[in-house]
Amino acid sequence: MSLPTLRIKKFAQLRQVDVAFGDLTVLVGPQATGKSLVLQLLKLAVDSTRVAGTLRRRGFAWEGMEEFCGVYFGEGMERAWTDATTVEFSGRPVHIPPRKRTDDAPRLFYIPAHRTLSVAEGWPAGFRSYKPDTPFVVRDFSEQLLELLTTRQGTEGNVVFPQPRRLKRPFRDLVDEAVFHGGQLKLLSDGPRRQFKLVYPNAEIAYMAWTAGQREFIPLLLGIYHLVPLGVRPRTGSIEWIVIEEPEMGLHSNAIQAVMLLILELMDRGYRVAVSTHSPAILEVLWGLRQLKTGGANPSKLRDLFGLERAGWDVDRLARNVLKKEYRVYYLDYVDHKVDSARSYDISALDPDSAELGERTWGHLLSLSSRVNAAVADVQTSTTK
């Protein structure tokens, strides 16, 4: 079966981008090469009429292509889409502005890189609370979190984490060890306001006193709560796709490991996941999964890959499922450093012996370590002569 494919020509800095989305697709590349734009165009391709309907209901208006780009991508992006731009999703053209507006349920859930904006004051902001330069995906994510908390679907009593009915016990243990260190995340009243606090036996720590990693992780955790419904349903409503931008932000490698396991859990539930990243740790996991898959490894090896000495759930069943999945990796970079020349390169093999520099360095995420290793090797060789 062919993979859903997004083809972009001459949009903003994206000169030519072709991405075929597997069950897990990862985009890498330097800053400002357009990874977020690719993913925002994917959101628009999957949910175009719903996006237009949401914006209209929230009081936004536009006349023509330029104004819609400013509303959807954020102020300053009005001229990103020109008469030369073409965007196709699985052979169907994507139109800006969308030709219809509907109240359809979303098919793609988007967790943006700017997710800390969603809880900047310890509580999610509303859709219209942001400045004009804020992209739709940030506004929409914040609104989803606000609904999750105001309807108390994201809490058990006043506890956000840990919840016995949320996530499997080993996942909760990994998250606690990597992020919270025995603390409870709660929603507590402070006068007339409710806000997040980390509660320890002898302290209640307010949101702005948390570590940067804890602040980054909370909206990501809440987004995952939205995608993992209580009860027997594996998925949330109409959602089929998940986008997570830079899940590693502010996190130690142990926390990144926990996030990658949560992503595998989402894939196991039948979601198609797309991720952008600057972390070689995420590609290390993908490379390991590819080696296990192509080598026909015993599913129990997934336990070794993540260092899970004792697992309280059926890791082998999870492994059998995720090792059947399709994994894709794309590298975005400028051609000759021209600002409007970004292109995509398929580096899904992650071959460290590839003749292509972009692939063997995993989109240059390994370039520094390669140079350091080469320099140290030269020094060691010269000192032994």
Q: What is the pLDDT of residue 1?
A: 64
Q: What is the pLDDT of residue 380?
A: 65
Tracing tokens 């609370």 back to the chain, one arrives at: 129
Euclidean distance between CA atoms 304 and 285, whole angstroms? 12
Q: What is the pLDDT of residue 333?
A: 94
Euclidean distance between CA atoms 117 and 112, whole angstroms? 10
Q: Among residues 3, 82, 84, 81, which one has the least CA distance to residue 44?
A: 81
Q: What is the pLDDT of residue 385?
A: 59
Going residue by residue through the chain, which has 385 residues, state the pLDDT in tens, using 9 for 90 and above.
689 999 999 999 999 999 999 999 999 999 999 999 999 999 999 999 999 999 999 999 999 999 999 999 999 999 999 999 999 999 999 999 999 999 999 999 999 999 988 888 788 889 999 999 999 999 999 999 999 888 888 889 999 999 988 888 888 888 999 999 999 999 988 777 888 999 999 999 988 899 999 999 999 999 999 999 887 788 888 999 999 999 999 999 889 999 999 999 999 999 999 999 999 999 999 999 999 999 998 888 888 888 887 666 678 888 899 999 999 999 999 988 777 899 999 999 999 899 998 899 999 888 777 777 777 766 767 666 5
Q: Is 293 in contact with 320 (CB distance < 8 Å)?
A: no
Number of H helices, E strands in the chain: 11, 14
Q: How many CA atoms lie within 13 A of 238 on its CB side?
A: 9
Q: Is 147 in contact with 109 (CB distance < 8 Å)?
A: no
Euclidean distance between CA atoms 322 and 263, whole angstroms? 10
Q: What is the pLDDT of residue 364?
A: 87
Q: Which residues contact 9 (CB under 8 A, 6 or more apart)?
A: 15, 16, 17, 84, 85, 86, 87
Q: What is the pLDDT of residue 19?
A: 98
- Across the chain, mean pLDDT equals 91
Residue 162, preceding peptide bond in cis (omega within 30° of 0): yes
Q: Which residues pair with 14 in a beta bridge?
A: 11, 342
Q: What is the pLDDT of residue 170?
A: 83
For the record, the structure tokens of 262 come out as 């949560």
Tracing tokens 């026909």 back to the chain, one arrives at: 296
Ordered alpha helix ranges (H), the chain = 35-57, 64-72, 136-150, 169-175, 212-227, 253-268, 280-294, 301-305, 315-322, 357-360, 367-384
Sign of CA pseudo-dihedral 315, 318, 320, 322? negative
Amino acid at 67: E
Euclidean distance between CA atoms 213 and 277, whole angstroms? 16
Euclidean distance between CA atoms 98 and 288, whole angstroms? 41
Q: Which residues contact 151 (CB under 8 A, 6 or more apart)?
A: none
For the record, the structure tokens of 78 come out as 């009005």
